Amino acid sequence: MQIDIISVVPDLLTSPFAHSIMKRAADKGLLTVNVINLREHTTYARAQVDDYQFGGGAGMVMMIEPLVNAVEYLQKTTRYDDIIYLTPDGETFNQKMANSLSLKKNLLMICGHYKGIDQRFRDHFITTEISIGDYVLSGGELAAAVLTDAIGRLLPGVLNDESSALTDSFQDNLLAPPVYTRPEVFREMGIPEILKSGNHKKIEEWRYEQAVERTRDRRPDLLKD
């Protein structure tokens, strides 16, 4: 899978994919992330990419022309399944969307800054608008990193134990159950007896009960549908 990300702060997007599971995905050739500097696609003086908004008001707006230049340049070599704009007024990202995006081949993500991007670009080039939650970030980069991580780890072969994505929180609309590792006793705090029983069927039942209980307690909204 290929994920291309257009940004005015490309440096924000180097570290998130250079470690751990995202690095493994890249090393195995399962996920390629390219970060494109929007300023390299503007024809305006001093690499300008934003301007004052028509109608007045505080805050700059990202201009349509550099964005179109960048997208059309990338489209010469890549056919995108989706062109995603990261924006707080988009649809709230969730695991279902991560699953569905992980089935695509090529994605393009556009990171907004300032007051956002010219509406004409949204109308004519963007296919999907996504937010990562009800709060405002100073730009779309961290949101693009969140999406890329959530999508990338779902690609077959990225996680060592392929079943481990299946037992994530949210994968079946349940939060994950509690987990324990060594030592068995730490400062008189033990672990649930059942986990030492060796009875895998009983352990699975216990985990499921714990997941349901935790979900009912913390996120009852997930159990409604």
For ligand 6GU, the binding residues (CB under 6 A) are 86-88, 112, 131-133, 135-137, 139-140, 143
User: Which tokens in the block code for residue 107?
Assistant: 């994605």
Specify the residue, 113 or 153, whose C-beta has the smaller distance to ligand 6GU.
Answer: 113
H or E stretch covering 89: strand 82-92
Q: How far is the CB of 129 from ligand 6GU (least distance, A)?
A: 9
Specify the residue, 10 or 88, whose C-beta has the smaller distance to ligand 6GU.
Answer: 88
Identify whether the C-beta of residue 84 lies closer than 8 Å to the C-beta of residue 109.
yes
Q: How far is the CB of 182 from ligand 6GU (least distance, A)?
A: 38
Q: In what order do the strands lie in the sheet with 128-131?
A: 32-37, 2-7, 106-111, 82-92, 128-131
Q: How far is the CB of 25 from ligand 6GU (least distance, A)?
A: 22
Q: Which of these, 2, 129, 5, 138, lies nearest to 67 by C-alpha position?
A: 5
Specify the residue, 133 or 190, whose C-beta has the smaller distance to ligand 6GU.
Answer: 133
User: Which tokens in the block code for residue 123?
Assistant: 């109308």
84: three-class secondary structure by DSSP: strand
Q: How far is the CB of 112 from ligand 6GU (least distance, A)?
A: 6
Q: How far is the CB of 16 from ligand 6GU (least distance, A)?
A: 14
Cβ-based neighbour number of residue 167 at 10 Å = 15
Specify the residue, 10 or 140, whose C-beta has the smaller distance to ligand 6GU.
Answer: 140
Specify the residue, 66 or 88, whose C-beta has the smaller distance to ligand 6GU.
Answer: 88
Cα radius of gyration (the chain): 22
Identify whether the C-beta of residue 125 lies closer than 8 Å to the C-beta of residue 83.
yes
